Amino acid sequence: MPDTTPQTQPPRLRAARTTSVVVGAIVGLIAFAMLAIGGVLLWADSKKDEQGYIHTDTQRFATRTAAIATDNLDVDSHGLGWLTSHDRYGNIRLKVSSRNDKPVFVGIARTSDVATYLRGTSHTTVTDFHSDPFRAVYRAERGSGRPAAPASKRIWAASSHGTGMQTVTWDVKHGDWSVVVMNADGSRGVDTGVSAGADFPILSALAWGSVGGGLVLLGVAALLIVAGTTAQRRAPAAALAPA
């Protein structure tokens, strides 16, 4: 008589098949996360304007002092290799317009140079901001002197001044930098609308890389899960086969 008694799977085989399914599920979750990130990055890339920039809405920055300067913007490329090479940093674009009809100045310079230029003058530093609703957080810097007209200084990596909308495009470089917005003559009472943008040249590559990587991992996850579940279904059938 053939032996029809069901045979159980060896413990190691059962553990290996279970592990295959569990690992497949984990890899699948990672794949879906990468696909989601890639989708978000593709959406962001689609929001670039005709010049290839993603930009903020125009927000008001105003002070009764002679200048508005950002806190130190630390651009650190050390140890990041290809990710922060010259052509991947991209450009920053600032659009500044006066709200009080005064000619306006906008410039980007080394933080140390900005500190020297504004030392002893009454100015304001932007330390933070809240986005919803937008609200800039300022720190007042006291002083009695009036700064020289900013365009007369040779500290600026990029700058623009005059009436109407002023646009500055800066090729981002390593170091400590500050953005300064002033009246073109250095007088007190700055009231401006500012929009900031960046072209993020690596954004598209990151987006498609995330999508491609997610699809590959999704395929691996499917193979692992199918391999584990198929083996588990076949094992009982094989155990019941006649001798």
Strand 156-162 and strand 166-171: the pairing is unpaired
Contact 123, 190 (CB under 8 A): no
Better-predicted residue by pLDDT, 158 or 19? 158
pLDDT per residue as tens digits for the range 113-165: 999 999 999 999 998 877 667 778 889 888 888 899 999 999 999 999 999 99
On whether both 91 and 69 belong to a single domain, the answer is: yes
> Does one domain contain both 26 and 67?
no
pLDDT in tens, 25-37: 898 899 899 889 9
User: If you average pLDDT over each of 51-60, 159-168, 195-204, 219-228, which comes out highest?
Assistant: 159-168
Strands 123-131 and 67-70: what pairing? parallel
Dihedral over Cα of 184, 190, 191, 195: its sign: positive
Asked, for residue 2, whether it belongs to a domain, the answer is no
Domain of residue 176, residue span: 49-198
The confidence score (pLDDT) of residue 81 equals: 41
Whether residues 81 and 15 share a domain: the answer is no
Average pLDDT over all residues of the chain: 81
Q: How far, in whole angstroms, is CA 240 from its chain's centroid?
A: 59
Residue 141's beta-bridge partner residues? 123
pLDDT given at position 10: 65
What distance in Å separates the CA atoms of residue 106 and residue 190, rounded to the nearest whole number? 11
Q: What is the pLDDT of residue 20?
A: 80
Same domain, 177 and 160: yes
Q: Helix/strand/coil (H, E, C) string of 151-180?
A: HHCCCEEEEEEECCCEEEEEECCCEEEEEE
- DSSP H or E stretch at residue 114: helix 111-118
> Are residues 64 and 182 both part of a single domain?
yes
Number of structural domains (the chain) is 2
Instruction: Render 195-221 in DSSP notation, one character per residue.
Output: EEEE--TTHHHHHHHHHHHHHHHHHHH
